[in-house]
Chain A
Amino acid sequence: MLVTLEGVTKSYPNGRAALKGVDLSVPEGDFVFLVGPSGAGKSTLIRLLIREEIATSGSVLLDGRDLARIKRREVPGIRRRIGIVFQDFRLLPHKSVRDNVAFALEVVGRPRREIGGAVDRVLQLVGLAGQADQLPGQLSGGEQQRTAIARALVHEPRLFIADEPTGNLDPLISWEIIQLLLRINEIGVTVLMATHNAEVVTALRKRVVAMEDGRVVRDQLAAAYHRED
């Protein structure tokens, strides 16, 4: 999915400007690290992409469609084409791994007979086929994040957003999660990952978009976490 931001600003009613004229273009199939200190505007940018919020000015376009102009009832359809995971996993504690993933299909009205197969396939993909019947509380942090990834993938999204997906995980497990995101990218899904994990970003040499104080201060291909010049 093609993501385009043109002169996007976002101000909150309290007067705080979270984004100040952001321009960004992410072509289909790209892998982008979004880096920068807390409060730089990364999370706001993500909320605009999933249309949790609407830009104060400028435009946020997905495949050329301005998210500020779509109708309210079109929002769910757009969200189904975006998979998203967070630092805190956001799993339902009383549902098994399989039910957590199936929930994403149930709530959009997919018939039950289609759900089972789709869930099994995606659990296979993230390597959780053996833990399908366990509850999130019985899983390690890495397995919980894989469950969240499986849930985000089950709609076969074209844009995958990961907001600090390794923030709660130790380095080894973090690498496993990153490997999984790279696999998802290899099958053609655009991946946007906000992170503080300098080691991972620098090692992978992907495109890096650095933000500071609501602005994009660096947008560099095959880059490191920190500026290298």
Chain B
Amino acid sequence: MIAFAGFSLRRALQGIRSNKLMSAAATATIVLMLALLSGLVILLAGFDATLKYVEQEVQVVAYLKDSATSAQVASIQAGLGQMPQVAQLNYVSSDQALADFLARHPDEVDVVGSLSTNPLPASLQINLRDPADYPDVAAFLVAQPGVDRVLNIRQTVDQLVSIIGVLRAVGLAILLVVGLIVLFIIVNTIRQAVVSRTDEIEIMRLVGASDAFIRWPFILEGCLMGLVAALITVALLWLGQAPIASFMTDYFKVLPVEASATIGRDVALIVLATGVGMGFLGSWLSVRSCLAR
């Protein structure tokens, strides 16, 4: 077993060394594919995190006019309190809204400080028992004096879900095409390695080498290319960590901080598994077709 592993590894490394250009080209295309893959994973993770955050929040927001009197507000609250569809009701004053905003975006303190008045309206935040009840509650709210406009968070969530769906489908389709091209390149690279060793393989067969000894060096060669490509990709991602993280927080304003750490680890694992997996699959297909007997 040790002799087998040592033999296979030595042969695989010899193979890569004697076919540097093709091996490098194949590795580069795997890197390209893995970079695409990690980009997609990171983007989807960002959207998912946003979605989760939004879903935790209230489902209906009714912004109140600045002119609304406290009696009007109290009557709206009483009305909502009697509606069986309402699970929870919160009054957020204009000051509270500003405080929340500043807590979420500490960078904007200066901007807010330069304003003479508080631009944020007071609001009623409502959780529904069932999102389908939205029209009833909205109809009630719109009819009330003092209500400026009603926002259906559920609608925003639905839009987000459909964007994520499209992104995932398009991303996976592109990945699939790139993946097939990469696979084709690996298959060809390994085929070339096999062809360049036709004489050795013939001798191996004559002296009684088993199929495993003949095939595994080539499969290992593919796996090694995938592994190297994955390590390069992970290194590139690590170097690009800071810009990626700032893009993530800029673009997905609400990305929870703890998400980025696990995303980094997950992406690294996905990249490693995919790289080695592609190398294995490509070389296995190649060996199966050109060493079949």
A: which residues have CB within 8 A of B? 50, 72-73, 75-81, 84, 90, 92, 103-104, 106-112, 151-152, 155
Contact = CB atoms under 8 A, between A and B. Distances in A.
A84 B200 CA distance: 15
Contact of A109 (B3, B202, B205): B3
Contact of A79 (B4, B6, B199, B205): B205
A104 B213 CA distance: 12
Nearest to B201: A107
B209 A76 contact: yes
B203 A109 contact: no
A76 B208 contact: yes
Contacts of A73: 210-211
Contacts of B101: none
B207 interface: yes
Contact of A108 (B2, B200, B207): B207
B139 interface: no
B206 A109 contact: no
Contact of A90 (B3, B6, B202, B211): B202
B208 A79 contact: yes
B53 interface: no
Contacts of A104: 203, 207
A109 B208 contact: no
B286 to A, nearest CB: 20
Given A108-B213, A110-B3, A111-B3, A92 B200 contact: yes
Most buried by B among A72, A75, A109: A109
Given A109-B4, A109-B7, A109-B213, A90 B199 contact: yes
B204 interface: yes
B210 A84 contact: no
Contact of A92 (B203, B205, B208): B203
Contacts of B6: 112
Nearest to B209: A107
Nearest to B212: A109
B199 A107 contact: no
Nearest to A151: B207
A107 B203 CA distance: 10
Contacts of B209: 76, 107-108
Contact of B208 (A80, A90, A111): A80
Nearest to A154: B207
A107 B204 contact: yes
A88 to B, nearest CB: 11
B92 to A, nearest CB: 74
B216 to A, nearest CB: 11
Contacts of A76: 208-211
Contacts of B2: 111
Given A108-B213, A109-B3, A111-B3, A77 B208 contact: yes
10 contacts: A72-B211, A73-B211, A80-B207, A92-B200, A103-B203, A104-B203, A107-B7, A108-B209, A109-B213, A110-B3
